[in-house]
Amino acid sequence: MLVSTKWLAEYVNTQGLDPKELGEKITRSGIEVDAVIDRTQGMTNVVVGYVKECVKHPEADKLNICQVDVGEETTQIICGAPNVAEGQKVIVARPGAVLPGGMKIKKAKLRGEESNGMICSLQELGIEGRLVPKAYAEGIYVLPETATPGESALPLLGLDDTILELGLTPNRSDALSMLGVAYEVGAILSEDMKYPEATYNEGNEKASDYLSLRVDATSENPMYVAKVVRNVQVKESPLWLQHRLMAAGVRPHNNVVDITNYVLMEYGQPLHAFDYDRLETKEIVVRLANEGEKIVTLDDQERTLKSNHLVITNGKEPVAIAGVMGGANSEVHDGTTTVVIESAYFAGGSVRQTSKDHNLRSDASARFEKGVDPNRVILAAERAASLLAELAGGEVLAGSVVVDELDKTPVEVVVSPDFINNRLGMKISLEDMTSILTRLKFDHQAANGYLYIKAPTRRQDIKIPEDIVEEIARMYGYDEIPMTLPVEESKPGGLTSYQARRRQVRAYLESAGLYQAITYSLTSKEMSRKFALETAPVTELLMPMSEERSTLRQSLIPHLLDAVTYNTARQADTVALYEVGSVFLGETESGLPHEQEHLAAVIAGKWVDHSWQGEKKAVDFFVLKGIVEGLMELLGHSKELTFERAVVDGLHPGRTASIQLAGEEIGLIGQLHPSEQKARDLKETYVVELNLAKVLNKEVEALYYAPVSKFPSITRDIALVVDSEKVAGELQAIIQLSGGRLLKGVHLFDLYEGEKMEPGKKSVAFSLTYFDPERTLTDEEVVNAHNKVLKALAEQAGAELRG
Amino acid sequence: MEAQLQQLKEEALQKIEASQNVKELNDVRVAYLGKKGPITDLLKGMGKLPAEERPKMGALVNVVREEVTEVLEARMTLLQEQAIQEQLEKESIDVTLPGRPVKTGNHHPLTRVVEEIEDLFISMGYEIAEGPEVEKDYYNFEALNLPKGHPARDMQDSFYISEDILLRTHTSPVQARTMEAKEGKPIKIICPGKVYRRDNDDATHSHQFTQIEGLVIGEDIRMSDLKGTLSVFAKKMFGEDREIRLRPSFFPFTEPSVEMDISCFKCGGSGCNVCKKTGWIEILGAGMVHPNVLEMAGYDSKKLSGFAFGMGPERIAMLKYGVEDIRHFYTNDVRFLSQFHRTEV
Ligand SMILES: [Zn+2]
């Protein structure tokens, strides 16, 4: 909402406040002022000129040489506008003038002819092109004949004004009108209202003799008022009316249309003007449209209606879409002489649906949607009639044609001062409260410990005691509220075990060298299932903004890979990222997808780079595996952790494993498939994804101390020769199972698959630690245990001791 | 024999003096003082002396031996010290060479902000509540006093999955769910999480972003409690000398509703480009829980009241660290992420 402070001052005394100060007061007490716009924009030396003579420039077809009376002198100005003509009163920027945007006017010569200034268009004075009346859109603006040469043009054009741009929240639709804003300012400044006048001489004939009215859909349209004005002369509106509309962001058209828009801005009540003769039937019938019925609207679009759209008809065919847009067939035009003014109450929901269906949003529909003041429907009609009489020479017929089933009873709110003070934590006196209600012009009464308040119908946001709490608080001033802390039973706050361990997981991964990434949950349908740990139906948006962001992800890996690609393309040597986030799998009973918290990590490039001391290592499978092992150790699951070769689409078939805890799959790890790697132009890249929720929710043994033994442990190394296909994990499992209770540790320390080996064989060396916390082991005991291990290895894995 | 002894002594002392390292000196020790050395030989040869001269001679030999030993030990100490010195010199390194790097990652800046806020409120007795990112229209809107067709729904254009399931547009549904689960009992929670709105991604908009909200419900929770709580938050987060001010606003789920500004932490209130010359920075929205919201979750709004507040970690991180484009948070450029490594005072 754009509020001209000059216009506003017609309804309420703004106490001569500087607009900035006024804006600040409005902001602090309830309605945010987004901007304070000075319409002069620093303009100077812009005056009224009279074009005494206007001839073509001998050297240039498109230029005119004008002799312009600017008050103190008559001076020559060259003008290129097509519509400049002798006898016009025009806007002249004199030499030395500064125009919006900082343009400075100087004396100049144009094709040999002197030019002392510029004849201006409205755009050149900083008015948006879309607001300039069509007649002057392509040229200079022509002032009324009454303008005096030499006087400043800015007051004439209403440009010596400041606009407050209000950022209205949906509850404050009452401030979608100048009167509404005036009420607000009046409350803030403790000032009374001055209401617009609506007086005119009624004609002898009655409106009801000219027009009949029937409303067939009173729930969508509970109130309809029509006034008939005869002998209207359609012409340009007076300048003051035009510039007020432009200040409010509305383009002037002609006096009839301008008056309806003016009253809309003034009262917040949308009006519509029909050409009475073009209605043809002397009848208005408001009804729901027939399915498929058509109407050509004012913007020359043919629109097909649905049966829930409310239309105004002439009894035969639609002449307007109610509250949204008029029809072309009944539009007021230059030759219109009799006008029907419609002022109605259309239900918000109906207008919202209709304007949404036709993608038509207007100042009118916006106000109906939010609900107009039921008590202004007649007032606005009368105000429009009086302006038509005053500005268009119209004769207003007696009375109105009315259907009124609208409930205009104000909402009554009963609230105790104690309730208000308890909610605020304050001690505002009853006198202060009633004085605020008086300033707000809320009808109220204090009796037996309660305030009985009748909320004015313009304030449809006031319904319950809490609304009164807010009104009192904002007018009393939020700065006056003291600062306290809740008084309550003292209870420790904290993280749940899950949340605390999730933080530890993050800290661990970061200390292991990974940066935390946050990527988007929405991806393309194609990518959504890639690398997913589980097969589940995808969750898609009904109306995605793009295919790229149409489906919820089932794996975190694709977007992390995108981040690797992004960073690699920008010369990052090493990319090591992890993310903790939800994936979305299928549908649960409640209809929501099953949301699972996952953890994923990607690494690529160098891992260790300390080359001057000869230490250098690129990332590989075992770097990432080590991180996973360390994580499981942190979470107390290292004993249950196993890795098993697996095949996953998009990963290297020989370098991928399923990660399991006690035989249950919890994740996958592997190298990005070389063909994907190539497509993304990456170095070797490794990925891992874990079902974090499953891991963190798994039972874990209580942490319990084992005594540190006084007795030594005994270590025996073995080097085994096995078939090349034998995996280390299997050998390790055999050792662990056969080693008995004395075997406390198995550690693989060497692997050799070279030319010194027989083809198809490899050597694997383990270090075995035997230990009894109660005593020193004898050699014999160790030999016995060790022999069992060797035997098992030979029998179960065909392993031979390497000689 | 005495002369012989004197000569031996002179010789030994000369050789001791001439020794340049521990090994040479040890050779001298062995040569003169060892079991096969000349002094020992002299002692052995004493048998040939007359008996009355033996004690005198023996004493003399011992004196010479002690003298030589003493000089030798002194020289030994010196040479050993020299040797250590040489060793140390040989071992000295260029201390300006780079150390072996310890590479660690760090929190995403949004997590850093969220955890800081979480920890502050945990210290005031709050718990952290979480909920699904895909929500029912009921929890996201209806339970928050935003019935179907409510004009305020236009404020947040949403991503729908079906007619009544959508990506949550704020973390408030977690509050609604918590209230429902607590069945009328007091609540003190912080709800952080990802939220989604139908926005084109640009420098100030992101279709996915984060929110952190707080909710307190109890007997006689007052607006002054909200103001006091927010003041503690502002001071902890943005500096002890921060002031706060509340401005009236509108949210369907609170009544009264306010927005909170803090005095600019960059200029202190005199006006700069961070605060757009106003001296104040808008940080969050808040209010007293709307009675409809309480009632819908089964709370008696006559007996219990509450406050709620919500803010955007992106905005806070942008203000705090001067980040100018919201997309940085979701691009995961290592050159961006790694700047949030160090600790802050
Ligand atoms: Zn500042």
pLDDT of residue A588: 85
Tell whether A172 lies on the interface with B, counting CB pairs under 8 A. yes
Task: With a cut of 90, say whether residue A802 has pLDDT above it.
Answer: no
CA of B197 to the centre of ligand 1 (A): 30
B136·A592 Cβ contact <8 A? yes
Helix (H, G, I), strand (E, B) or coil at A307: coil
In angstroms, what CA-CA distances link B314 with A347, A627, B327?
40, 30, 10
CA of A185 to the centre of ligand 1 (A): 29
pLDDT of residue B9: 86
Chain B: closest CA distance from residue A308 (Å): 15
Tell whether A429 lies on the interface with B, counting CB pairs under 8 A. no
pLDDT of residue B41: 78
Compare CB distances from A595 to B101, B133, B165 and report the shortest one's residue.
B133
Would you say domain B109-340 falls under CATH 3.20.20.120?
A: no
Tell whether B228 lies on the interface with A, counting CB pairs under 8 A. yes
Question: Taking Cα atoms as reference points, which of B314, B310, B294, B316 lies closest to residue B172?
Answer: B310
Q: What mean pLDDT is predicted for residues A419-444? A: 96
Whether the upstream peptide bond of residue B256 has omega within 30° of 0, thus cis, is yes
Q: Report residue A756's pLDDT band, with 50, 70 and 90 as the boundaries.
A: confident
ipTM of the complex: 0.89
Q: What mean pLDDT is predicted for residues A16-28? A: 94
A·B CB contacts under 8 A: 241
What pLDDT, in 10s, does the model give residues A482-522? 999 998 777 889 999 999 999 999 999 999 999 999 999 99
B104·A519 Cβ contact <8 A? no
Among A420, A459, A488, which would you mutate to test the B interface (most chain B Cβ atoms within 10 Å of its Cβ)? A488
Compare CB distances from A592 to B105, B165, B216 and report the shortest one's residue.
B165
Q: What mean pLDDT is predicted for residues B64-89? A: 90
Among A34, A168, A171, which would you mutate to test the B interface (most chain B Cβ atoms within 10 Å of its Cβ)? A171
CA–CA separation, B101 and B99 (whole Å): 6
B151·A485 Cβ contact <8 A? no
Residue A116 token pair: 């002392």
A16: left (phi over 0), alpha (psi -120 to 50) or beta: left
Tell whether A171 lies on the interface with B, counting CB pairs under 8 A. yes
Instruction: Give Cβ neighbours of residue A605 (< 8 Å, ≥ 6 apart).
Output: A568, A572, A573, A574, A575, A618, A619, A683
Tell whether A566 lies on the interface with B, counting CB pairs under 8 A. yes
Question: Beta A339-345 vs A271-275: how paired, if at all?
Answer: antiparallel
Question: DSSP letter at B29?
Answer: I
What pLDDT, in 10s, does the model give residues B11-60? 888 988 898 888 888 888 888 888 887 777 777 777 777 888 888 888 88
Q: Are A295 and A305 in contact (CB under 8 A)?
A: yes
Distance of CA B132 to the CA centre of its chain: 30
Q: What mean pLDDT is predicted for residues A48-69? A: 90
- Of A164 and A170, the one with more pLDDT: A164
Helix (H) or strand (E) holding B149: none
Report domain extents, chain B: 2-91, 109-340
Task: With a cut of 70, say whether residue B191 has pLDDT above it.
Answer: yes
A575·B162 Cβ contact <8 A? no
Helix (H) or strand (E) holding A144: none
pLDDT of residue A578: 98
B196·A495 Cβ contact <8 A? no
Residue that is written with structure tokens 């990660």 in the block: A659
Tell whether A513 lies on the interface with B, counting CB pairs under 8 A. yes
What pLDDT, in 10s, does the model give residues B286-328? 999 999 999 999 999 999 999 999 999 999 999 999 999 999 9
List of chain A residues whose C-beta atoms are within 8 Å of the C-beta of residue B250: 169-172
Q: Are A378 and A403 in contact (CB under 8 A)?
A: no
**Tally of CB atoms within 10 A around B34:** 14
Residue A607 token pair: 């891992």
Tell whether B103 lies on the interface with A, counting CB pairs under 8 A. yes
A592·B134 Cβ contact <8 A? yes
Q: Report residue A803's pLDDT band, with 50, 70 and 90 as the boundaries.
A: low
Crossing angle for the helix pair B313-321 and B109-122, to the nearest 10 degrees: 110
What pLDDT, in 10s, does the model give residues A393-431? 999 999 999 999 999 999 999 999 999 999 999 999 999
pLDDT of residue A58: 85
Task: With a cut of 90, say whether residue A279 has pLDDT above it.
Answer: yes
pLDDT of residue B154: 60
CA–CA separation, A743 and A782 (whole Å): 9
Task: With a cut of 90, say whether residue B157 has pLDDT above it.
Answer: no
What pLDDT, in 10s, does the model give residues A360-404? 998 999 999 989 999 999 999 999 999 999 999 999 999 999 999
CA–CA separation, A484 and B228 (whole Å): 5
B161·A470 Cβ contact <8 A? no
Half-sphere exposure of A59 (CA within 13 A, CB side): 7
Tell whether B342 lies on the interface with A, counting CB pairs under 8 A. no
The pLDDT mean for chain A works out to: 94
CA–CA separation, B212 and A68 (whole Å): 65
List of chain B residues whose C-beta atoms are within 8 Å of the C-beta of residue A28: 247-248
List of chain B residues whose C-beta atoms are within 8 Å of the C-beta of residue A29: 248
Helix (H) or strand (E) holding A288: strand A283-288
What pLDDT, in 10s, does the model give residues A578-604? 999 999 998 888 889 999 999 999 999
Compare CB distances from B149 to A172, A349, A542 and report the shortest one's residue.
A349
pLDDT of residue B247: 93
Chain A: closest CA distance from residue B246 (Å): 6
CA–CA separation, B260 and B226 (whole Å): 11
Residue that is written with structure tokens 């009475």 in the block: A276
CA–CA separation, A594 and A161 (whole Å): 59
Task: With a cut of 80, say whether residue B151 has pLDDT above it.
Answer: no
List of chain A residues whose C-beta atoms are within 8 Å of the C-beta of residue B101: 609-610
Whether the upstream peptide bond of residue B109 has omega within 30° of 0, thus cis, is no
Q: pLDDT exceeding 90 applies to what percent of chain A?
A: 88
Tell whether A436 lies on the interface with B, counting CB pairs under 8 A. no
pLDDT of residue B172: 96
CA of A21 to the centre of ligand 1 (A): 19
Task: With a cut of 90, say whether residue B223 has pLDDT above it.
Answer: yes
List of chain B residues whose C-beta atoms are within 8 Å of the C-beta of residue A425: 222-225, 227
Instruction: Give Cβ neighbours of residue A244 (< 8 Å, ≥ 6 apart).
Output: A4, A7, A158, A262, A265
CA dihedral sign of residues A208, A211, A212, A216: negative
CA–CA separation, A604 and A573 (whole Å): 8
CA of B212 to the centre of ligand 1 (A): 24
Domains in chain A, CATH or no CATH each: 2-39+162-189 (3.30.56.10), 46-156 (2.40.50.140), 202-404 (3.50.40.10), 411-475 (3.30.56.10), 497-697 (3.30.930.10), 714-801 (3.30.70.380)
Residue that is written with structure tokens 């216009």 in the block: A7
B160·A543 Cβ contact <8 A? yes
Q: Are A350 and A318 in contact (CB under 8 A)?
A: no
Task: With a cut of 60, say whether residue B155 has pLDDT above it.
Answer: no
The pLDDT mean for chain B works out to: 91
Rounded to 5°, the CA angle A530-A536-A538 comes to 70
**Tally of CB atoms within 10 A around A547:** 11
Q: Which of residues 132-171 of B touch A (CB under 8 A)?
A: 132-136, 149, 151-152, 154-155, 159-162, 164-165, 167
What pLDDT, in 10s, does the model give residues A165-216? 999 988 899 999 999 999 999 999 999 999 998 899 999 999 999 999 999 9
Compare CB distances from B122 to A494, A510, A512 and report the shortest one's residue.
A494
Task: With a cut of 60, say whether residue A459 has pLDDT above it.
Answer: yes
Helix (H, G, I), strand (E, B) or coil at A445: strand
Longest Cα–Cα distance of chain B, Å, equals 135
pLDDT of residue B218: 95
B161·A541 Cβ contact <8 A? yes
Helices (H), A425-521: 430-439, 465-476, 497-511
